[in-house]
């Protein structure tokens, strides 16, 4: 294809975020601007907080919506509940856990990093041991990325909470749910999560631009003594204004309308069905990788992510070449390897507004791109394996999960 030539057809977006925005949400966001201080405005905003609480699975948590990315939500969760010099534990096993650690350090927090092999996740036993040794309770929080998109790994947040409780430690549990919430089962109250964050551009099927924080009552109580500087990301300012349906500054109006439609669509499908669909799609992607004779970055099935599959390329090949060929030749956007995984893998994101036929297109395109750069995969093998997985699991699994 000549440089600059228009690519016919639709771009196949299969990075793990931003994700595809459904037409219903695009139409909902196509609105005239309005006065965000009018007496009618709370009719839009107040229901959003209650509906988001159902997505986080919390009864008493406080939800706040910032005009920002998930990184802004990270910053808000930490600065509103911590003071410079506070000690935190964080497991580092991917690019996004690394970035969260660096953000915490920039705010003067002392982060005790537990290095884990990339392709694995947080180790509850190591966390418990570190907390047991902290008899003076100097450690104030445990930071965990629920779903690490850089490596296609999901950590067991419930097990981390059990580890904290087993150590009889008061540390707060901070969870990055950017690429899990609204796609992978997340249970804030049941798992004892104190601060959880997400962004709009993943499972919520919106453009990037909303950073969402959900704080437990214990998390809110920590705000009283927190000394980290904050202004734009001050939870207290938001909570005061949100109580009557308003914001302390101009909100992202079209995104709020889109969020209302996204939450309605999730409710229509049913969260359990949403999770079952993501699991089914992920198993199809994993079946394709097996048929190709390639390996996942995730070291064991217990780490498998249901929102992104990270595929190791054979020795001597560069994953960036696969990605570039897929984009230039087939208008297919695949995720790149990041940091330690740069060039070692490519990623297929499969979250948000997605079905089996869409994913089969991405698998077919990845096969062709790999063949074009010299990776000897059998054309059609991954597609056939995914098809077989979908035919064998689609109705049975959905029925079983709904029954549970």
Structural domains in the chain? 23-267 (3.40.640.10), 270-403 (3.90.1150.10)
CA distances from 225 to 78, 86, 104 (A): 13, 12, 17
In sequence order, which residues have a C-beta less than 8 Å from that of residue 102 and are 6 or more positions away? none
CA distance 242 to 244: 5
Structure-block tokens of residue 207: 């453009």
Tokens linked to 80: 């509103």
Over range 71-91, report the average pLDDT: 98
Q: Assess contact for 233 and 79: CB atoms under 8 A.
A: yes
Instruction: Report how far residue 149's alpha carbon sits from residue 118's, in angstroms, rounded to the nearest whole number.
Output: 11
Block residue for tokens 């969020």 = 259
Contact 331, 1 (CB under 8 A): no
pLDDT interval class at 62 (50, 70, 90): very high
Residue bearing tokens 């839009």: 44
Percent of the chain with pLDDT over 70: 96
3-state secondary structure of 188: coil
Mind listing the pLDDT tens digit for each residue in 32-49? 999 999 999 999 999 999
User: Taking the model in full, what pTM does it have?
Assistant: 0.94
For 195-254, the pLDDT digits (tens) are: 999 999 999 999 999 999 999 999 999 999 999 999 999 999 999 999 999 999 999 999
Q: What angle do CA 303, 167, 153 make, to 5 degrees?
A: 10
What is the secondary structure of 340-396 as a DSSP string?
A: GGTTTEEEEE--SS--HHHHHHHHHHHHHHHHHTT----TTHHHHHHHHHHHHHHHH
In the chain, the percentage of residues whose pLDDT exceeds 90 is 95
């Amino acid at each position: 294809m000549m440089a600059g030539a228009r690519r016919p057809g639709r771009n196949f977006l299969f990075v793990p975020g931003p994700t595809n925005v459904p037409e219903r949400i695009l139409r909902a966001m196509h609105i005239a601007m309005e006065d965000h201080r009018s007496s009618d405005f709370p009719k839009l905003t107040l229901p959003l907080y209650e509906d988001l609480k159902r997505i986080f699975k919390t009864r008493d948590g406080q939800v706040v919506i910032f005009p920002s990315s998930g990184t802004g939500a990270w910053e808000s969760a930490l600065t509103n509940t911590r003071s410079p010099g506070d000690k935190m534990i964080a497991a580092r096993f991917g690019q996004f856990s690394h970035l969260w650690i660096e953000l915490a350090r920039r705010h003067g927090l002392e982060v005790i990093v537990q290095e884990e092999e990339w392709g694995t996740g947080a180790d509850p036993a190591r966390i418990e041991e570190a907390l047991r040794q902290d008899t003076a309770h100097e450690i104030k929080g445990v930071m965990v990325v629920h779903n690490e998109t850089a490596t296609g790994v999901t950590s067991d947040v419930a097990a981390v909470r059990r580890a904290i409780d087993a150590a009889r430690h008061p540390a707060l549990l901070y969870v990055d749910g950017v690429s899990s919430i609204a796609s992978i089962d997340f249970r804030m109250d049941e798992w004892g999560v104190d601060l959880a964050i997400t962004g709009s551009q993943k499972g919520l099927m919106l453009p990037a631009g909303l950073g969402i924080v959900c704080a437990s009552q214990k998390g809110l109580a920590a705000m009283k003594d927190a000394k980290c500087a904050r202004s734009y990301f001050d939870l207290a300012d938001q909570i005061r204004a949100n109580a009557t349906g308003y914001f302390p500054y101009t909100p992202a109006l079209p995104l709020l309308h889109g969020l209302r439609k996204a939450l309605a669509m999730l409710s229509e499908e049913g969260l359990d069905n949403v999770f079952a669909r993501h699991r089914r799609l992920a198993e199809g992607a994993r079946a394709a990788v097996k048929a190709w004779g390639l390996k996942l970055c995730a070291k064991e099935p217990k780490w498998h992510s249901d929102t992104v599959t990270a595929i190791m390329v054979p020795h001597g090949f560069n994953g960036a070449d696969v990605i570039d060929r897929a984009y230039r030749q087939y208008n297919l956007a695949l995720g790149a390897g990041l940091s330690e995984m740069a060039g070692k893998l490519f990623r297929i994101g499969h979250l948000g507004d997605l079905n089996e036929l869409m994913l089969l297109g991405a698998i077919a395109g990845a096969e062709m791109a790999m063949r074009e750069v010299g990776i000897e995969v059998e054309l059609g093998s991954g597609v056939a394996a995914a098809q077989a997985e979908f035919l064998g699991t689609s109705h049975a699994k959905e029925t079983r999960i709904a029954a549970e």
